[in-house]
Chain A
């Protein structure tokens, strides 16, 4: 069941879109460090944990990385596969695991809505956001996720 969900990126991106739209009207009340944060952290752990092996980096980019968590890459790469992928598509460091970026790329090809966003430049991870709610941060802390002048 989980496996099937993980391999249905087209479905997951619709879910992402729906959740985003559903939460948008409430963003005034969803503040970082606010009362809802604890609840959201719990919800994210419960949902994204089993589904994506989420590491709670607090700055989710799943819809831009083929609905595959880049923090599960042993090098935490957020901008694409390293130069060490094995010919059979497994990880340079753990030969018994698939390269998550090979998976991310294949899955992004099956995502009509956000698939092309895999080409966006991702800013370095803001480690101070670890274990906070990515959904809440997405509304309020965009400036903390991109360094000054990053998009210039």
Chain B
């Protein structure tokens, strides 16, 4: 990302399985086309293989994971331990989240923890990395070398607080940002205007969340059931305007168009593709959006000889 090349990350949905192969199968289709793979942490409050487990498998196979950490299920003691463990397993990127409420998932009777919030979690992770001690003040022997991330949702109220909240996250320690699904490009442009006024795009790499909608019905379901996802009516209308058999293709096309639009916005460093249960589409989307080849990708931080040609 520091090379200035347009970055691509993608979300891997952890399996409901104890078989490592099920993780590798999903990683394989994503790794070819993206720079890093996000491992979600019981997203939507539904239990799946843990993000720390998925990340350990991914680093073992040489992939670059982004470990998502949510505050819903673990307190500060557990999270600090997991961060160190993950770092020891080779995890370098951590996305700090508050997490959906337990009520969103299939076990709403669980105890919500929320000992920290996303910003306190970011600050704590930065403390481990930069100050070299736990929250209690106890020193670490070796500090973790994290690239810290945070989420942002520019599409929901209170709109004028959102850029300032991003500033708070960056102050707390965020080096990169991955946003919620972007379907409302004009709203995102407004947000980025405010972000640039605050100079935040120079302090953190902003990756825009995108993803294909499978059908008009799926879009309706998503916007009413998935917390924080905003899908404007015209997108749903555009999907329902084509026959059901063509809707998947249309959803993919919308996603590609959005990638091409947000790519032109100043201050955007990349995209984060979330294709829930449609991982096989990610490669097509990235290819058709003109973001390939990525094979010459080098280690984080190193500049690439092809850079000038590519940009």
A contact set with B: CB distance below 8 Å: 74-87, 89, 92-93, 99, 101-102, 105-106, 119, 121-125, 127, 147-150, 152
Contact between B157 and A89, CB atoms less than 8 A apart: yes
Contact between B156 and A86, CB atoms less than 8 A apart: yes
Contact between B227 and A83, CB atoms less than 8 A apart: yes
What are 18 A-B pairs with beta-carbon distances under 8 A?
A74-B101, A77-B117, A79-B119, A79-B168, A80-B168, A81-B158, A81-B165, A83-B152, A83-B227, A84-B153, A86-B156, A93-B101, A105-B161, A121-B168, A123-B123, A124-B124, A147-B136, A149-B131
Contact between A79 and B118, CB atoms less than 8 A apart: yes
Q: How far is B230's CA from A8's CA once the two chains are assembled, in angstroms?
A: 32
Q: How far is B127's CA from A30's CA once the two chains are assembled, in angstroms?
A: 33
Q: How far is B112's CA from A75's CA once the two chains are assembled, in angstroms?
A: 8
Are A124 and B120 also in contact (CB < 8 A) when A92-B100, A149-B127 are? Answer: yes
Contact between A92 and B167, CB atoms less than 8 A apart: no
Contact between B136 and A102, CB atoms less than 8 A apart: no
Are A80 and B161 also in contact (CB < 8 A) when A87-B230, A119-B168 are? Answer: yes
Closest to A101 in B: B158
Partner of B136 from A78, A87, A148 at Cβ < 8 Å: A148
Q: With both chains docked as a complex, state the minimum distance between the C-beta of B286 and any C-beta of chain A, in angstroms.
A: 24
Contact between B157 and A77, CB atoms less than 8 A apart: no
Are A84 and B101 also in contact (CB < 8 A) when A77-B117, A147-B136 are? Answer: yes
Which residues of B210-249 are within 8 A (CB) of A? 227-228, 230
Q: With both chains docked as a complex, state the minimum distance between the C-beta of A98 and any C-beta of chain B, in angstroms.
A: 10
Which residues of B62-87 are within 8 A (CB) of A? 71-72, 76
Contact between A80 and B165, CB atoms less than 8 A apart: yes
Top 8 nearest A-B pairs (CB, nearest first) are: A84-B227, A148-B137, A83-B153, A79-B119, A93-B101, A92-B227, A105-B158, A83-B228
Contact indicator per residue, chain B 116-147, by CB within 8 Å of chain A (1) or not (0): 11111001100100010101110000000000
Q: What DSSP secondary structure best describes chain A's contact surface?
A: loop
* Chain B residues with CB under 8 A of A122: 119-120
Q: With both chains docked as a complex, state the minimum distance between the C-beta of A123 and any C-beta of chain B, in angstroms.
A: 7
* Chain A residues with CB under 8 A of B13: none
Which residues of B236-279 are within 8 A (CB) of A? none
Q: Tell yes or no: B51 within 8 A of A by CB.
A: no
Are A102 and B135 also in contact (CB < 8 A) when A79-B117, A80-B165 are? Answer: no
Are A83 and B180 also in contact (CB < 8 A) when A102-B158, A150-B123 are? Answer: yes
Q: How far is B228's CA from A92's CA once the two chains are assembled, in angstroms?
A: 8
* Chain B residues with CB under 8 A of A80: 119, 161, 165, 168
Contact indicator per residue, chain B 31-62, by CB within 8 Å of chain A (1) or not (0): 00000000000000000000000000000000
Partner of A147 from B115, B135, B164 at Cβ < 8 Å: B135
* Chain A residues with CB under 8 A of B76: 124
Which residues of B151-183 are within 8 A (CB) of A? 151-153, 156-158, 160-161, 164-165, 167-168, 171-172, 180
Q: Tell yes or no: B103 within 8 A of A by CB.
A: yes
Q: How far is B165's CA from A102's CA once the two chains are assembled, in angstroms?
A: 12
Q: A75-B99, A102-B157 are in contact. List 8 more A-B contacts (CB 8 A).
A: A75-B98, A82-B98, A82-B118, A83-B151, A83-B152, A85-B228, A123-B120, A149-B137
Q: How far is B72's CA from A102's CA once the two chains are assembled, in angstroms?
A: 21
